[in-house]
Chain A
Amino acid sequence: MNCDACKASQATVFLTQIVDGKMQKVNLCEACSKEKGVTDPTGFALADLLLGLGAAQEMERGGTVQKCPTCGFSQADFKKTGRLGCGACYQTFSEGLATLLKGMHKGTEHIGKIPARALQSIQRDSQVRTLQRDLRKAVAAEDYESAARLRDQLKQF
């Protein structure tokens, strides 16, 4: 039996775990088991995550969408490759991915570099949202003078 991770070497480490009443099995060679940090049963979740085996299950539990409308990528493809199909997949499978990303990374929100182009459009979006909110408020308050001004500002975008 070959290792599930590298598919090359003979598997010598056999892990079985029951999660939510379902049995999961992973067979690893010695090198891969060491690399994935599988030294005890509690380390299994990590191995699972890194192998992308549990990843697809996480997605099945979280999401209901089966295929990405932009590129046609499916959850089964993710299970097979551990990679996504396109940028829009992050939106498509967002529910399932949220759990996965949480376990994988330090945080769930990007706080690093923003490309200059995106920065402009992000700022624009937030300005538009602010104006729309102010406009709704002005209309609700029957302040039609302000509402007209805000409407003109929105038109400029």
Chain B
Amino acid sequence: MALHNILTSTGDWLGGDGPHHQIVVSSRVRLARNLGNFPFPGWAKKNERLQILEAIKPQVELLPEMSDAFSVYSQDLSALEKQVLVERHLISREHAAKGLGSAVVMNRRQTLSIMINEEDHLRMQAIRSGLQLKSVFKMIDKLDSLLEERLDFAFSPQLGYLTACPTNVGTGMRASAMVHLPALVLSEQINQVIQAVNKIGLAVRGLYGEGTEALGNLFQVSNQTTLGEKEEDIIARLHKVIEQIIEHEQNARQMLLQKRPNTLLDNIGRGYGILQHAYSMNSKEALNLLSFMKLGIDLGFFPEPCRQPVDELFMETQPAHLQKGTSQKLAADERDSLRAEIIRSKLAAFPKPSVGSGGPGNGASHSSAN
């Protein structure tokens, strides 16, 4: 399985068809594991890292789930290819910086991805569209159980799975959901929500994890703690909180429709106008405007067939995705022109937002797709 096949197919989780997919973009669970008799990757010497890699990689490739896998050593991936995988959330930014001694194995559907010698010897993740944390956990848990039959994981009866960073010790599990919350941002309630979520031991981060900006009104909500709680309980707790966040976002949308329809329509209309007519656009602006298009579709201002092209643009306008079709590296201004061009052509056939004959005040009647 070659990388370009992976890159040309969008992958299952980008299909956007899971439960609550309008607000929950994706659900993801990752497990951190280490071999018992080697130092962690950050402390291991080069030859040890190579030994670890050769002990793990063949076992991962033997898994039935990986029969059609794409498996590659980090040094055999170009910087651009790595960046594409980062944008698809298939490898971490940290893993993209690795060279000799690391590898990544992922299935063709791009729902399972296993990083070898990232911060831990194994970082295994499952990702699916919409809110389905339980089934995503089951996917990765099954894989973990199969692997542990063949590999001796560092485990302490008291502390659980031992990880390089003490913040992951115990279950070694980080479960997260990516949520799209434009109405909570517009109505300035987002900080309250973030604070409330933080208080109960969950973290809220930007699009690409720790220390990144919440571009496009996209946020990642994940568990903060890994020790002293069962995997199933962490998942259930997170699931409940995400359901509440969905409800808050839906309420905020209804509030905006009823109380501030002009603010809402202004953002959606400007998004539509600029995206359809701009000739230069950076990825930050693109994500933020696309977010309002997505909201417009959710609220029924655009017909449903507009959804897929917009969802695709979220990914296709990212810097590395933009360049994967071009033969040479583009400068920032060239990327911005290309980005605007791709967006214009995709949005060319989009109808104007349908706000009803009675003006924006009637916007609420179009909120059928909730």
Contacts and interface: CB of A to CB of B under 8 A. Distances in A.
Given A35-B211, A107-B227, A108-B228, A87 B158 contact: no
B228 A111 contact: yes
Q: Is the interface of B mostly helix, strand, loop or mixed?
A: loop
Interface centre among A6, A112, A116 (most CB of B within 10 A): A112
24 contacts: A73-B43, A77-B43, A83-B43, A85-B39, A87-B34, A87-B40, A90-B162, A101-B166, A101-B227, A104-B167, A105-B170, A105-B225, A105-B227, A105-B228, A108-B228, A110-B157, A110-B227, A111-B229, A111-B230, A112-B170, A112-B231, A115-B153, A118-B153, A122-B157
Contacts of A105: 169-170, 225-228
Nearest to B167: A104
- Shortest beta-carbon contacts, A-B, top 3: A107-B228, A110-B160, A87-B154
Contacts of A112: 160, 170-171, 173, 229-231
A110 B170 contact: yes
A135 interface: no
Interface of A: 5-6, 31-32, 35, 37, 55, 71, 73, 77, 81-87, 90-91, 97, 100-101, 104-118, 122
Interface of B: 34, 36, 38-40, 42-43, 119, 141, 144-145, 148-149, 152-162, 164-167, 169-171, 173, 198, 201, 210-211, 225-231
A83 B231 contact: no
Contacts of B36: 87
B238 to A, nearest CB: 13
B211 A31 contact: yes
Interface centre among B154, B169, B228 (most CB of A within 10 A): B228
A118 B157 contact: yes
A149 B64 CA distance: 47
Given A87-B162, A106-B201, A109-B158, 18 more contacts: A55-B166, A73-B43, A83-B40, A83-B165, A85-B39, A86-B154, A87-B34, A101-B166, A104-B227, A106-B225, A107-B228, A109-B159, A112-B229, A113-B160, A113-B230, A114-B155, A116-B148, A116-B149
B119 A83 contact: yes
Contacts of B201: 106
B43 A86 contact: yes
A114 B155 CA distance: 8
Contact of A85 (B40, B173, B227): B40
A32 B164 contact: no
Nearest to A86: B39
Contacts of A90: 156, 159, 162, 169
Contacts of A55: 166
A31 to B, nearest CB: 7
B39 A71 contact: yes
B211 A32 contact: yes
Contacts of A100: 166
